[in-house]
Structure 1
Amino acid sequence: MRLYGRVAAVTGAGSGIGRELAIGLARRGCELALSDIDEVSLARTVETVRFVNPRLAVSCERVDVADRDALYAWAGKTAERHGRVNAVFNNAGVALGSTVEGASDGDLEWLFGINFWGVVHGTRAFLPHLRVSGEGHVVNVSSVFALISVPGQAAYNASKSAVRGFTDALRMELEMSGAPVRATTVLPGGIKTNVARASRANGSLADLGLDAARGREKFERLFITDSDRAAGRILDAVERDRERVLIGPDAYVIDALSRLFPAGYARLVKRSVRRSLG
């Protein structure tokens, strides 16, 4: 699937990977429908992509991906404004630092509303439009935390594992039904975004010997891959119809670790978390 001349929708386009996806798509000549819950950041992204490609058709909308009705309405508006939709990048995501027992129901619902249901509703809202286009692609951003679990990140692990399973199954269903749509699961490692700074955390991490404030700062140091490089890898994967894409050298290490030591990796992870975030 060539992206030039196509129409792509991107959630979480106000910053990080979402912003770089928008910029990368603009450089490849792809029309854009951008959304984010932060209107100020979204406006900056729109300004940037219009500078990158002044002739490009760009629309934007404030959308909370946890709001099913808002996502479906945005999908309909996008198809109407641009005439078609060829790709959707379900990128918006958040994090929660907490033990299983320490997380409130509200925090869990907040995280799953964005990380999982945002992906589900974004996929289902745009799929009919992708089918009609005759050439479509669904890109769902999971995480290497869908390959291994990390103490203090149970909710994030669970949501990203759900995205991985959902998208892998979707791709098989699309292939089996002969649909003109493909799906790609994205598994980023540590990407330089503001996810850690925008995450929620609570005092239950102290039960694991971790300091939430210092841990967030140290955790950011583990982000070793630039957002623009990550976005480039994702767009290449779409054009090459890759089923799955790992992003960052740490992602390849974690993937190998999960395959070679599916049970034993936990000991290594516990030591690493205590050393890095304690």
Structure 2
Amino acid sequence: MQSFANKVVVVTGAASGIGRALAQQLSMQGANLALSDVNMNGLEETRSTLHGKGKVTLHTLDVSNRAAFEAYAEQVLEDHGQVDMIINNAGVALSETVERMTYEDMEWIVNINFWGVVYGTKTFLPLLKARPEAAIVNVSSIFGIIALPTQSAYNATKFAVRGFTESLRQELKNTNVFVTTVHPGGIKTNIVNNGRMKTSMTGDKSLEQQAKEFEKLARTTPAQAADVILNGVKGGKRRILIGPDARLMDRIQRIVPVKYSDVFAWFLKKMG
């Protein structure tokens, strides 16, 4: 997909962060947008920052609700008449050890981070296949490539998104639908403040302390991330790594696929 002009693009989690930045850049590039989130006030703020001339619709959507997603797809088709790309961006964070984690917390993150991607993909796939060219962009994480302590649930969902999407890409190889996974490193968003951060990777710390730690590590802005994602789609990249930290972690994992945890344990010890 070389241009987003006059395309209809669905973006979940568009009330802030990467989702908002994607909406801003897509709007400037002439796209029509169907934006969703659980936070309608945030969506309204996103719309107020858009400067393109394309049509923009806003919908409150809980991506973990399959029936709501199916109804949303019907509404988007009614509003826009077509769908050319979906970016399954909505996601949440959970930091806790396996031993202390509740099943409720595990189900919460799996329903949003994994099932939300599955519902978005399956619900919109028939509409995408009806277009001359289309794209599915599923946002995983660098934590879909490497695993760290207290991130087991988050890792599980992001590894699952990666596996699901890579299989889907092979199934759609000879069709009009391009498929890619996105693996951001630390991005300056509110994911920590909006997550369930109970135990940090460097010990028991308050949410405020964890947010400050994350802010130090997050070197990439949402605008930079959106730029990399959209250029990756235009360039046909099947895996999009965002940020120098993501590229470094990916490289270390390739060099020492089993012992990379020792490298990161040493780094986390220095942080603590």
TM-score band w.r.t. shorter chain: over 0.9
1:185 corresponding residue in structure 2: 181
Q: In structure 2, what is the equivalent of residue 25 of structure 1?
A: 26
- Distance in 2 between the 1:15 and 1:94 partners? 12
2:249 aligned partner = 254
Q: Shift of residue 153 of structure 1?
A: 0.7
Are the counterparts in 1 of residues 200 and 210 from structure 2 also a CA contact under 8 Å? no
Task: Report the CA distance between 1:263 and its aligned residue.
Answer: 1.1
Task: Give 1:32-181 correspondences, 5 Å limit.
Answer: 32-49=33-50, 52-53=51-52, 55-175=53-173, 178-181=174-177
Helix, strand or coil for the counterpart of 1:29? coil
- Cα distance in structure 2, aligned partners of 1:77 and 1:275: 51
Residue segments in structure 2 that go unaligned for 5+ positions in a row: none
Pair 1:242–1:39, CA change in 2 (3 A): same
TM-score (norm 2): 0.96
Structure number having the greater helix percentage: 1
Q: Give the C-alpha shift of residue 205 in structure 1.
A: 5.2
Task: Give a deviation string over 1:84-130, Cα, whole Å, max 9, x none.
Answer: 00000000011101001111011011101111000010000110000
Contact kept? 1:13, 1:22, Cα under 8 Å: yes
TM-score in terms of structure 1 length: 0.94
Counterpart check, 1:233 vs 2:209: no
- Structure 1 unaligned spans of 5+: none
Listed one character per residue, the Cα deviations across residues 15-74 of structure 1 (whole Å, up to 9, x for unaligned) are 00000000010011010000000111011111211xx11x31111100000111111111
The answer to whether the Cα contact below 8 Å between 2:192 and 2:210 also exists between their aligned partners in 1 is no
Structure 2 partner of 1:196: 192
CA contact (8 A) 1:22 1:32 kept: yes
Structure 1 residue ranges, 4+ long, deviating more than 6 angstroms after superposition: none
Task: Determine what percentage of the aligned residue pairs are the same residue.
Answer: 44
Contact persistence 1:33–1:60 (CA under 8 A): yes
Cα distance in 1 between the residues matched to 2:111 and 2:226:
24
Secondary structure of 2:72 counterpart: helix
SS at match of 2:33: strand
Q: Which amino acid aligns with 1:14?
A: A
Change (3 A) 1:275 1:212: farther
Deviations 1:225-245 (A, max 9, x none): 010010011011111221111
Provide the aligned length of Structure 1 versus Structure 2: 270
Moved more, 78-87 or 209-218: 209-218
Partner of 1:12: 13
Work out whether residues 146 and 161 of structure 1, in 8 Å CA contact, stay in contact via their aligned partners in 2: yes
Distance 2:212 2:68 in 1: 34
